[in-house]
Structure formats: structure tokens, C-alpha cells
Structure 1
Amino acid sequence: MTADPPPATGRLTFAEMTVDDLDDMAALLGDPVVMRYYPRPKIRAEALDWIRWNEGLYRGHGFGLWVLRSRATGEFVGDCGLTPQPVDGVMEVEVGYHLRTGMQGRGFATEAAAACRDHARDRLGVDRLVAIIHPDNTPSQRVAERIGLSFERATTSESGDPVHVYAARLA
């Protein structure tokens, strides 16, 4: 299965995540600000597990979370992509994003998520896209709304935490 990432946007490039990205991913996923809506920041070994999980997604599904870099400088920005996620017993395709603290608030998440939405629709044939968001994470909710997802319902995650599901039909 091919796992071609979305094409570059005006400011960002997408690439498959590899172990070469471990330092950047460990810093991103270990940042308490980035991970404030997760149970806790991830340690380096968990960041490696995150990379391995995405490598498996590329092979098994043809998509996953991709590393985001600045098109102008090559600087690491974060990750963004598509993952299969169970929601109330149904497997959905979720768009997700994590940006370095210093890269937040500049429209990068919206730019990357919109590219992933278009890639899901145009290249992967995904007809429904969701974002599973912590109820207090208003910046992430705004990104979901900006790319055309609407609040659908409040539910609980697989781990029992409250989440809001934003969704849109793409077809």
C-alpha cells in the first residue's frame, strides 16, 4: 500500500515519520503545553512507539500522521495526518495535529489539516472525516471548524475521557 503524504502547502511539507525524527517527536510529545489535553506528556520511549505506530499505519492503511516541516527553512513544525480511530464502536478516519509550542497560533494547524482533509477526500476516497477533541481544547475545535468539520456530539474516548466529535462528509 502506498502512503504518499499530502502535497506541500504554501508553507509546509509533509513526510513519513521515521526513527530519524525521534528527537523532534520526543520533544513535541514530551512538551507539557503541547500535550495538555492528553493524560500526560510522553516519554522518549513512547515517542518511539508513536513513530512505530505511524510506520505501521502507512503500511496497513496508506496514511498516518506525517512530519510537518517549514517549506522555507526545513524546520520541524509538528505532525499532522490521518489515523483510524474507534468512536462509539465505529472505526472512523480522524484528522489530528500537534504543533510545537512556538509554532502555534500562526495558522499552521489549519493549513496542514486542510491539506490532510483534501488528501483524504481526493486521493484516499475517504467520505467522512472526524476530529476527536478534548472539550476544553478550543484552539483545536477552531481548527476543525475552519476546515469544515462541525460539532456532532459529546461522547467518551476508548479510555473513558470526555471528548467532542467534530465531523464532516467529504464525498
Structure 2
Amino acid sequence: MKYLLTNQETERLSFRLVTMADFDTWLPFFNRKEIYKYLWLDETKTEKELCESWFKKCLTRYTENRGGLNAVILKSTGKMIGKCGLLVQDVENEKRLEIGYSFLPEYWHKGYATEAAICAKDFGFENEFDKDFNSNIISMVHVENTGSAKVARYNSMTFEKQVPGLGNHVFDIFSITSEEWEATQNK
């Protein structure tokens, strides 16, 4: 299973594969209707249906070797607080390696998303996964998701371009090249 951050750690976080045992922990993520547009979620579905779809997509990525979101565990409590990982995405008919992240709302604004995203970026470059994707890694952020855009910028990424999504959604692509990443490692 390439691209997965299994058994990686940061100061406050650890990463492992998502399992169906995480379902009830993740279900409250879908209580916040304002995030639906950021993630192309279907507002006509129930929270349980959305969570089922989310888990199916995550576990399918694992089996198809397209990366995936790992469970992010807060080491001080042992609780799952979010998901973060490297995802193989198709952006304008080009395969790109994306850092994806989502956290339960009670853990927003505490730096966890940034800490996890930096770990994912470093893991991708350290393992030279970027070489499969034109030597860069991206984050794809809905244009109205200012919190995730901040995480991308804190992760040393810069705005690359805007791309259309499903319906009338628009996404900003933030990216960092292997050369830019190496320059940050020498500081």
C-alpha cells in the first residue's frame, strides 16, 4: 500500500490505517453542513450515508493503491481526531499527489491539520513519491475554505492555479516542488 503514512508520528500525532471501527468516531464530522461544499458532499444524503460513502472511498483507495487518508490519533489521549494522507488525484487529466486532510470540528484551530499536513508532505518527499508526479505535491482547496488554504500555506505551498470541480465548485491548487521542499530542509 504505497503512499500511506502508517506508523508515522509527529510531536503530538500518530498515523494508522482507517478501519470500520472508526465509523462512529467519524460520524459527527458530517454534522457540520457548512463543510459539505468544500468536500463535494451530497446534501440530500443522511449523515450516516455520507459517512458510509466516505469510508467506502477511503478503503477502496487503500486496495487500489491510490494512497488514502490515514486516521490521525492524538497521542495524549489515543483518540482519532482527524484524517490526513497522500491521495492520487486526477486534476485536469493529470495524475497529481495531493495532501488531503479533514479534522473533527472540536479539533480545529489547534494546529493539528498543519502538523499532520507537514508530516504527509515530508513523508512524500522523503520517500520520493513526488517523482511519480512531476516532482511536486499539491493540496486542493475549495476557494471558500480559508482554513484549509492557511494550512497549505503553512505547509510551504504556494498558489498554483484554480481548477473547476463538480457542479459550480472551484478549487485552488497549492503546490510545492521537491527543490522547494529541499530548500526548507536546509534551514
The structure number with the bigger radius of gyration is 2
User: Residues 16, 104 of structure 1: CA spacing in aligned structure 2 closer, same or farther, 3 A cutoff?
Assistant: same
Q: Which runs of 5+ in 2 are unaligned?
A: 180-187
**How far did residue 78 of structure 1 move?**
1.0
Residue pair 2:5, 2:85 contacting (<8 A) in 1 also: no
Question: Matched residues in 1 for 2:157 and 2:27: separation?
Answer: 29
**How far did residue 72 of structure 1 move?**
0.8
State how 1:19-34 maps to structure 2 within 5 Å.
Answer: 19-34=20-35
User: Residues 159, 124 of structure 1: CA spacing in aligned structure 2 closer, same or farther, 3 A cutoff?
Assistant: farther
Question: Matched residues in 1 for 2:168 and 2:128: separation?
Answer: 30
1:53 maps to which of 47, 53, 57 = 57
How many pairs are equivalent? 171
- TM-score w.r.t. the length of structure 2 is 0.81
* Runs of 4+ residues over 4 Å off in structure 1: 39-42
Question: Matched residues in 2 for 1:130 and 1:164: separation?
Answer: 10
Match of residue 129 from structure 1: 137
Residue pair 1:6, 1:116 contacting (<8 A) in 2 also: no
1:101-133 CA distance string (max 9 Å, x none): 111111100000001111111235223211111
Residue pair 2:26, 2:104 contacting (<8 A) in 1 also: no
Structure 1 vs Structure 2: percent identity of aligned residues? 23
2:83 maps to which of 71, 76, 79 = 79
1:55-85 CA distance string (max 9 Å, x none): 2222322631011111011122111111122
- TM-score w.r.t. the length of structure 1 is 0.88
Q: Per the alignment, in what secondary structure is the counterpart of residue 33 of structure 2?
A: coil
Q: Per the alignment, in what secondary structure is the counterpart of residue 129 of structure 2?
A: coil
**How far did residue 38 of structure 1 move?**
3.5
Greater fraction of residues in helix: 2
Match of residue 18 from structure 2: 17
Question: Matched residues in 2 for 1:136 and 1:52: separation?
Answer: 26
Residue pair 2:84, 2:116 contacting (<8 A) in 1 also: yes
State how 1:17-166 maps to structure 2 within 5 Å.
Answer: 17-35=18-36, 37-40=38-41, 43-61=47-65, 63-123=67-127, 125-126=129-130, 127-166=135-174
CA RMSD of aligned residues (A): 2.1
Q: Which moved more, 1:34-43 or 1:72-81?
A: 34-43
Q: Which runs of 5+ in 1 are unaligned?
A: none
Residue pair 1:66, 1:80 contacting (<8 A) in 2 also: yes
1:133-152 CA distance string (max 9 Å, x none): 11121111111011111101
User: Residues 92, 30 of structure 1: CA spacing in aligned structure 2 closer, same or farther, 3 A cutoff?
Assistant: farther
Question: Matched residues in 1 for 2:36 and 2:120: separation?
Answer: 21
**How far did residue 48 of structure 1 move?**
2.0
Q: Which moved more, 1:97-106 or 1:124-133?
A: 124-133
